[in-house]
Structure 1
C-alpha cells in the first residue's frame, strides 16, 4: 500500500495542541502474517502549524510497528534556516494535550526510523503491546525553508512474533550517602534515548569519572530512559528521572519525576499552558527549571517568564556569553526577591550529549540531608546550592553577624546596622579572581594565591547589602568572554525579612 492521498483537516487545541493539522488516515487491512507497508507524502509550507498528525489505522494481530521518514533539505536563501523535521508517535490512547495515556515516544530529528513492540523499542520510544486502533505519527516542522518542506513517512506493520515482554528496571530513589552533606550532581544530561550519543552506561561512567554523586536524566520530550536506569545506578550514584520539555518558546527541565511520568511539550507561551504542566510536575514532587534561557538555538529562548518555576539554569556547558547574560538577568531577579522574600535559585549543568562534551562541566553542588531524590530536590528548591566547573573546585561561603551565621541559600536575620563578615574559602582555582556581588552590583574583587587555596573576607551591613553572592573566575578568555567562570554561589540574604528603609 503506497502513495496515500493527502487530506488536511484542522483540529482544535483541545485535541492536539494549539497549532496542529491532521491528515487523512493510512489504512491497513488485517493480515494473519507477513508485513504491510503504507507510505504517505506531504508538503509543509513556510510558516505552517507546529504539528502535523498522520493517523494510522492499526488492525488486530499486529505485534510491531516500524516508522521511517525523510524530507528534502534544499540550500535555503541567505538569511533563512534550512529544513528540519522532528518525529514521534501516539498510540490509540489519544493525542490530546497532556494525554500521557497515548504517548509512545519521541526522537525529534535525531533518528530517521523507530520501531515499537511489546518486547523492545527504539530508544526514545516506549515498549509495549501494539494494540489495534488509530495511532498517530506526529511530525514537527522545527525549521522550514521559504520553499517549504516535502516529506515522506513509511509505516510498516508486522504480525511476526516478538520476544518476552519488556520489564522496566527503574533506578532506586536512594543511594548510599554521607548524611547531611554537600553532594555534587549534573541535572541536565542526554543519552541515546533522545539526541545524545552516549548510552546510559556511558553516561553513568562519565558521571562517576567526574566525581558526581547524582545525575538527573533529562531526555527531550520522552520518559523512555526511566525503564533502564536501574541497571546503571548504584550505591555510589543516585539517578533521578526527569525530562527536558522542548517547547517552541524555550526549554525547561522537570526534575524528580516518578519513573515513566511524561510531561507534554506541544504549546507556546501564547497558549497559556505552562502553568498547567508545572502544576503536574509539582503534583508528583518534581521541580521545574528554566533551561539555558538565552541559548541562541532556534526555539531555545525562554519566553514564558519565571513565575511558578523552581530554579533557573544560569550556566549551561562550557562558559559562554549567553551564560554571562543569564547570570546578569538572574541577579536582577534577586534584587526583587530580596525585598519580596521570594526568589528563584540558580543551578548549572553540562547539558552533555556526546563526546567531547564533558559530563559535570558544570554541575550543581547541593547541601542535602542525604543522597536521595527527595533530599536533593529539597536542597535545590531551597537554593542551598552552588555551581562548580569540576569536582576539583570546592568553596565554603558564609556570613556572620553578632551571634548568628548563615550559609548559601539562607538568611542572616540581623538588624540593618549589624556588621556582617562574609567569608569565602576556595580550593582548586589557583590564581582565580573572587567577586562578591550584592544588590548594588560588584562590591569586591580579590585575587586568590597563584599556588593554591585562598580565603577572602569582606565586611558589610544589611542596610548596605540586601544579599551577597560569590563568583570565582579564571582570568582566561573563552571564545566569547574575557574570563571563565569556575564557581558561582546562590546568595546569602542579609537582614530581617521586610526590614527595608522604605517600609
Structure 2
C-alpha cells in the first residue's frame, strides 16, 4: 500500500491545493485514508481548533470526484460503489490528485500521512463498465399555465454525502411528512446526491451544492454539477471564475449565513444572486444577516432573501424546516420553483406553521418592480399570526403598521417614495424583537428607470 507523508505549513492555512499520486491499470477501487495530530476534539474543535485538514479527490483527467472535508478518515471511489459524497465511476490509470484543505494549522505545522490502497479486477471478471447514475424522473407536475401555488421548502439540508446523519431518501421522507413541498440537498463541496435523487411522491428536489470555502459559503442551485473540475479558489480571481462558470451552466448563486461568527462571508465580491438571511433558528447571526441584506437594498441592489435550516441530523440545534422559504410557483417543477425564488416571489418564515406574509401592489407581487404612485397602496395579506408586530421596512427606515397581530388579516399600506418596501413580523419588544417572518421587497421604479 503506497504511503505519502506530507507536511502542511502554517502559511498554507486557509488554502486548498493538490498532491498527486499514481493509479495503476486494472484497478476497480481506490481508497485514500489519512491521519494527523488533531489536538482539540469534539465540539471545542471549532471554538479552539488545533489542526483540521480536509480531504477531497480528483481523477486522472482532473475531474472532481468528491469532498468529505474532515468528516471521514478514509474514503473510496469504485465502479460499483463509492463513499457517500463521491461519484461512482471506474478508476482509470494515471495521475490522480488528493485535494488538501488546510482549514486550521498550528504554528509549527502538521504532518499528514496518506495511505492509498487499490483493489484490482480478478481474472475472469466481466468487462468493467463505468457506472452511470440515472437521472431521476421529474416527479413534479407540469402546470405552467396554472395560477401560482404557495409551496414550502427548505433550501439548506445536509445528508450523509457530507456531514449529515441521514441519506437523501430518509431526509426526503422526513421533509414531506413535515409538510414541505421541496428541498435542496446542499452538501459541502459535493453534488453526488444530485445524480441519484430518490423518487418521493409530493416532494421536489431542487439541485443544490454548498460551495464551502474558508472565506464563506454559497449555495449553487439549479445545476446538477456546477463545477466540473474543482471548487478550489485561493484568489478573488479564482473565486469569480468558479461563480461565473457555475452561472453559465444555469446555477443560481446564494450567499449562506453571511454573518455567522464561525464561517462568515469574507469575500469582497458582490457577485451573487440571493442571500440566505435566515439560517437555522432565529438568533443574532440572522438579525445581522437581515441588516446586511437591508443595507444592500438601500444601496440600490435588488436581491432576494431566502432561508434554510442547515439541517444535519434529528434532535440537533438546526431543525428541518426552520426556517422555510415559501414561494409562489405555477408548478412543482424544480425549474419553476427556482425561477420564482430567484425572482423574489417568496417570503421566509419560521416554519410551515409560522406566520405567512404576502405583499402586493396592484398586480405586482414580492420581487416585482412597479412605478411609484402615491395613490396605489401596498397590500399585506397575513395568516397564522400569533401576536407578532408587523413592521414596514423601506429605504428610509422602519415603521410599525400593526401591534400584536393575531390570526389572519389584510392591511393596506400607504407607500413612500422609496426604492423598496418589505414587511417583517417580529415577536418581542420594539422593532428589535425576534423576526418570525419577512417578505421579499417590492421595488419602486423611478421614471428614468422606465425610460431605460
TM-score over 0.5 (shorter chain): yes
Q: What residue in structure 1 maps to residue 344 of structure 2?
A: 383
Measure, in 1, the Cα distance between the counterparts of 2:22 and 2:229: 26
| Alignment counterpart, residue 346 of structure 1, candidates 292, 295, 305 | 305
Is residue 171–residue 240 contact of structure 1 (8 Å, CA) maintained in 2? no
Structure 2 counterpart SS, 1:348 = strand
Q: What residue in structure 2 maps to residue 355 of structure 1?
A: 314
Measure, in 1, the Cα distance between the counterparts of 2:65 and 2:449: 53
Please state if 1:412 is matched with 2:364.
no
CA drift of 1:351 comes to 1.4
Structure 2 counterpart SS, 1:204 = helix
Measure, in 2, the Cα distance between the counterparts of 1:496 and 1:271: 34
Measure, in 2, the Cα distance between the counterparts of 1:172 and 1:327: 37
CA drift of 1:489 comes to 0.7
Distance verdict in 2 for CA 1:460–1:61, change over 3 Å: closer
In terms of mean alpha carbon deviation, does 382-391 or 255-264 score higher? 255-264
Is residue 309–residue 322 contact of structure 2 (8 Å, CA) maintained in 1? yes
CA drift of 1:397 comes to 2.8
Q: What residue in structure 2 maps to residue 10 of structure 1?
A: none
Is residue 422–residue 440 contact of structure 2 (8 Å, CA) maintained in 1? yes
Measure, in 2, the Cα distance between the counterparts of 1:448 and 1:223: 44
Is residue 257–residue 278 contact of structure 2 (8 Å, CA) maintained in 1? yes
Please state if 1:53 is matched with 2:12.
no
CA drift of 1:420 comes to 3.8
Measure, in 1, the Cα distance between the counterparts of 2:226 and 2:289: 31
CA drift of 1:459 comes to 2.1
Please state if 1:398 is matched with 2:359.
yes
The TM-score normalised by the length of structure 1 is 0.80
Measure, in 2, the Cα distance between the counterparts of 1:394 and 1:135: 51
Please state if 1:429 is matched with 2:385.
yes
Is residue 62–residue 157 contact of structure 1 (8 Å, CA) maintained in 2? yes
Distance verdict in 2 for CA 1:166–1:497, change over 3 Å: farther
Please state if 1:453 is matched with 2:419.
no
Greater Cα radius of gyration, structure 1 or 2: 1
Aligned pairs for 1:1-150 within 5 A: 37-48=1-12, 50-74=15-39, 81-94=49-62, 102-150=63-111
Structure 2 counterpart SS, 1:47 = helix
Distance verdict in 2 for CA 1:306–1:470, change over 3 Å: farther
Distance verdict in 2 for CA 1:259–1:303, change over 3 Å: closer
Is residue 53–residue 138 contact of structure 1 (8 Å, CA) maintained in 2? yes
Distance verdict in 2 for CA 1:233–1:305, change over 3 Å: farther
Is residue 51–residue 105 contact of structure 2 (8 Å, CA) maintained in 1? yes
| Alignment counterpart, residue 158 of structure 2, candidates 182, 190, 201 | 190
| Alignment counterpart, residue 490 of structure 1, candidates 428, 437, 440 | 440
Higher relative contact order (CA 8 A, sep 6+): 2
Is residue 221–residue 262 contact of structure 1 (8 Å, CA) maintained in 2? no
RMSD: 2.7
CA drift of 1:262 comes to 4.1
CA drift of 1:55 comes to 1.9
Distance verdict in 2 for CA 1:57–1:259, change over 3 Å: closer
Measure, in 1, the Cα distance between the counterparts of 2:201 and 2:140: 5
Measure, in 1, the Cα distance between the counterparts of 2:30 and 2:449: 64
Structure 1 counterpart SS, 2:113 = strand
Distance verdict in 2 for CA 1:460–1:283, change over 3 Å: closer
Is residue 399–residue 412 contact of structure 1 (8 Å, CA) maintained in 2? no
CA drift of 1:53 comes to 2.8
Distance verdict in 2 for CA 1:412–1:72, change over 3 Å: same
The TM-score normalised by the length of structure 2 is 0.88
CA drift of 1:233 comes to 3.2
Distance verdict in 2 for CA 1:261–1:238, change over 3 Å: farther
Unaligned runs of 5+ in 2: none
Unaligned runs of 5+ in 1: 1-36, 95-101
Q: What residue in structure 2 maps to residue 302 of structure 1?
A: 265
Structure 1 counterpart SS, 2:414 = strand
Measure, in 2, the Cα distance between the counterparts of 1:130 and 1:460: 62
Distance verdict in 2 for CA 1:152–1:395, change over 3 Å: same
Structure 2 counterpart SS, 1:92 = coil
Structure 2 counterpart SS, 1:202 = helix
Q: How many residues align?
A: 436
Residues 441-470 of structure 1: CA deviation (Å, up to 9, x unaligned): 1122422345x3344443234x2x332101
Aligned pairs for 1:147-296 within 5 A: 147-161=108-122, 166-173=131-138, 175-176=140-141, 179=146, 180-229=148-197, 232-258=198-224, 262=228, 264-268=230-234, 270-296=235-261
Is residue 54–residue 69 contact of structure 2 (8 Å, CA) maintained in 1? yes
Distance verdict in 2 for CA 1:369–1:153, change over 3 Å: same
Measure, in 1, the Cα distance between the counterparts of 2:190 and 2:447: 41
Aligned pairs for 1:309-320 within 5 A: 309-320=272-283
In terms of mean alpha carbon deviation, does 103-112 or 142-151 score higher? 142-151
